[in-house]
């Protein structure tokens, strides 16, 4: 639950209307970042598990999270999430382990596109796979099935949720590409942007070194020496426990 925010409804069935958003200028720094570099910039944290994949390879997802918790077998409150989302927001959905029924389909994609929602990440399934692939709307999910769910509730929008083995809160930043989905906690945004600048610079420098014929990085020879694996050593020299 978010402190100090007005809640409509009650525990497990309701929503929080307004969320704390990082400022757009900060978020824009991450627009084109690779998910791989973003997890590196967070000391290898924040990545959802690899079961959550792009429905359509090559589509990126990026935006501020609106979070949704659905009960098993229902998607009513996902429509409330669409209603609350601002242009560019990404819907992130926890289904309470519903891996048998689809909580999203093509008509919802069309609604989302009309509202300029930035995409969908769901720890569960969707349907209308082929039709969804034809739309310019990124979906990251565990898979597809033909069977849909009820529309009765309960469910909650804009609480803290688990998704793909990590925690997502409304206002966190979601970045996804062919490698998977990464969450940047909103309070870490400035630090992540700073770290990313260094990571990107390192990648440029290393790419130039490779282009200039330096196949292995400088640190490699040094590390091998530190590990005692010096050129010319035979097996006996490196035997474990040898004095």
Q: Tell whether residue 63 is among the known ligand binding residues.
A: no
The verdict on 172 binding Mg ion (CB under 5 A) reads no
Q: Which stretch binds Mg ion (CB under 5 A): 75-83, 98-106, 112-120, 221-229?
A: 98-106
The one among 34, 89, 128, 172 contacting Mg ion by CB under 5 A: 128
105 lines the binding site for Mg ion (CB under 5 A): yes
Q: Counting Cβ atoms within 10 Å, is residue 5 exposed (0-12), middle (13-18) or buried (19+)?
A: middle
Which residues contribute to the site for ligand OAA (CB under 6 A)? 75, 105-108, 127-128, 148-149
Q: From the list ligand OAA, Mg ion, none, pick the one residue 168 interacts with, judged by a Cβ distance below 5 to 8 Å according to partner type.
A: none
User: What span, in angstroms and rounded, lies between the C-alpha atoms of 9 and 6?
Assistant: 10
The residue among 82 and 92 lying less far from ligand OAA, judged by its C-beta, is 82
Cα dist. 82→109, 185, 205 in Å? 10, 22, 43
Total length of the chain: 243
Q: Which helix (H) or strand (E) holds 224?
A: helix 218-226
- The Cα 40–Cα 194 span in angstroms is 12
- Closest residue by beta carbon to Mg ion: 105
Shortest separation between residue 125's beta carbon and ligand OAA, angstroms: 11
Q: Which residues bind Mg ion (CB under 5 A)?
A: 105-106, 128
């Amino acid at each position: 639950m978010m402190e100090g925010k007005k809640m409509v409804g009650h525990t497990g069935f309701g929503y929080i209307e307004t969320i704390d958003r990082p400022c757009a200028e900060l978020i824009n720094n991450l627009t084109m970042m690779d998910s791989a570099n973003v997890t590196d910039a967070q000391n290898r944290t924040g990545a959802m598990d690899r079961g959550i994949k792009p429905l359509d390879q090559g589509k990126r997802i990026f935006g501020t999270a609106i979070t949704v918790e659905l009960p098993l077998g229902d998607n009513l409150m996902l429509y409330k999430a669409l209603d609350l989302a601002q242009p560019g927001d990404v819907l992130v959905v926890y289904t309470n382990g519903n891996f048998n029924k689809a909580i999203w389909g093509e008509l919802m994609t069309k609604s989302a596109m009309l509202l300029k929602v930035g995409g969908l990440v769901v720890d569960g399934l969707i349907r209308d796979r082929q039709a969804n692939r034809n739309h310019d709307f990124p979906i990251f999910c565990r898979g597809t099935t033909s069977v849909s769910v009820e529309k009765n509730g309960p469910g909650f929008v804009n609480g803290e949720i688990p998704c793909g083995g990590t925690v997502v809160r409304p206002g966190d930043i979601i970045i996804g590409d062919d490698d998977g989905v990464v969450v940047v906690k909103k309070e870490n945004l400035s630090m992540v942007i700073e770290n990313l600048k260094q990571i990107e610079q390192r990648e440029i420098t290393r790419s130039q070194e490779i282009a200039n014929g330096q196949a292995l990085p400088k640190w490699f020879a040094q590390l091998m020496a530190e590990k005692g694996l010096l050129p010319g050593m035979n097996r006996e020299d490196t035997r474990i426990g040898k004095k």
